[in-house]
Amino acid sequence: MQLSLPDPELQRKAILIHDRLCRVYGCPIAYFHDLDPLSELISALLSHRTKNADSHRAFQQLTRQFPTWEAVRDAPTAEIEAAISSCTWAEQKAPRIQQVLQLIGERIGEQREEPWSLNFLAELPVSEARAWLESLPGVGPKTSAAVLSFSNLRRRALAVDSHHHRVAVRLGLIPLKVAVAPAHAILEAQLPANWTAQQVYDNHEVMMLHGQKCCFYRNPACHRCTVLDLCPFGQTRQSSCL
């Protein structure tokens, strides 16, 4: 992923927003997963457009029923689909997961000291690790960032979900026309290069939490928002209520 050059004004604004939101939501924020990167990848593929509880249940069922990733790859697809049925689109996710495992097996699975491990990604520069992951079908910037940041690799990569994206658009950090995938490079470039992986993770978490707890899709609670003075959308909305 190519990082674009940040606008210094936007970078200052992004840091100010981060600091304010961190005071509200309490940084540093504890990591919610401690999975190895391959497990995190499968978990991320299951989580697409699925509630966390449902994708967690699917992951638990899949790993309970099939003790190795090789077994998941080689099982009848209908059995995988049944195991992950708590997810949305299980009929699409089951063959996709098997296809991804097939490719990983061909590329690295049986050739390394640690078979079925993506731990080698820890040794690559983040941009190369992301490119490797994004060469797999169904893996875009959000999933590659999730694998590197949320897994026990704990690398510096900014994931942007739909809440994070909505908040960033309303705050004017990215234009409305920029979709979630290309927003990753723009938003990550606004964060200081010397920030740690934890700080970058915190940024994802506080922007997401703000979208869940205050900047709702419908009826954002601008009157109690800690970044109202920095938000063109919120100020327009508040003035139209007067």
**What whole-number distance in Å separates Cα of residue 108 and Cα of residue 136?**
13
Q: Which secondary-structure segment (H or E) carries 46?
A: helix 37-47
Q: Which is nearer to ligand SF4, 127 or 235 (CB)?
A: 235
Q: Which is nearer to ligand SF4, 201 or 233 (CB)?
A: 233
Sign of CA dihedral 18, 132, 92, 36: negative
Answer whether the bond into residue 28 is a cis peptide, omega within 30°. Answer: yes
Whole-Å CA distances, 96 to 28, 86, 92, 117, 220: 35, 16, 6, 18, 36
Q: Which is nearer to ligand SF4, 128 or 216 (CB)?
A: 216
Q: Is 220 left (phi over 0), alpha (psi -120 to 50) or beta?
A: beta
Cβ distance 167 to 215 under 8 Å? Answer: yes
Count of residues that interact with ligand SF4, criterion CB under 6 A: 14
State the chain's maximal CA–CA distance in angstroms.
Answer: 66
DSSP assignment string, 134-177: HTSTT--HHHHHHHHHHSTT--S-----HHHHHHHHHTTSS-TT
231 binds ligand SF4 (CB under 6 A): yes
204 binds ligand SF4 (CB under 6 A): no
Q: Which is nearer to ligand SF4, 133 or 225 (CB)?
A: 225
228 binds ligand SF4 (CB under 6 A): yes
Q: Which is nearer to ligand SF4, 130 or 204 (CB)?
A: 204
For the CB of residue 202, give the shortest distance to ligand SF4 in the complex, in Å: 17
For the CB of residue 172, give the shortest distance to ligand SF4 in the complex, in Å: 9
Q: Residue with CB nearest ligand SF4?
A: 234
Q: Find, among 216, 225, 230, the residue nearest to 23 by Cα.
A: 225
Among 59, 69, 116, 233, binds ligand SF4 (CB under 6 A): 233
215 binds ligand SF4 (CB under 6 A): yes
Q: What character string, x for contact with ligand SF4 (CB under 6 A) and - otherwise, covers 157-196?
A: ----------x--xx-------------------------
Q: Which is nearer to ligand SF4, 90 or 215 (CB)?
A: 215
Which amino acid, 177? K
Q: Which is nearer to ligand SF4, 96 or 163 (CB)?
A: 163
136 binds ligand SF4 (CB under 6 A): no
**Sites of contact with ligand SF4 (CB under 6 A):** 167, 170-171, 214-215, 220-222, 225, 227-228, 231, 233-234
